Amino acid sequence: MTSKKQYPNIMICGTHGVGKSRLCQQLCSSNSSLKHIDITDLAKQHKYLLDYDDENQ
């Protein structure tokens, strides 16, 4: 039986502007098995946000 290697879920969190997205992009570009899921994009896509402050983003 062949099994696909599973990677752990990694959550990157921090305050605005510290480089979370850049770190995730670098990790994913160095390992094609990783996938970056931006939680804000996911919430917008599924209309989970009640309000969004574009001015502070």
Tens of pLDDT, residues 11-55: 999 998 999 999 999 999 998 888 899 988 898 899 888 876 777
- What integer pLDDT is reported at residue 50 of this predicted model? 80
- What integer pLDDT is reported at residue 51 of this predicted model? 73
Is pLDDT larger for residue 56 or for residue 35?
Answer: 35
Closest CA to 6 of 34, 25, 31: 34
Contact indicator for 43, 50 with CB cutoff of 8 Å = no
- What integer pLDDT is reported at residue 44 of this predicted model? 87
Report if pTM > 0.75: no
DSSP 3-state of 55? helix
- What integer pLDDT is reported at residue 25 of this predicted model? 92
Helical spans, DSSP H, in the chain:
20-30, 39-45
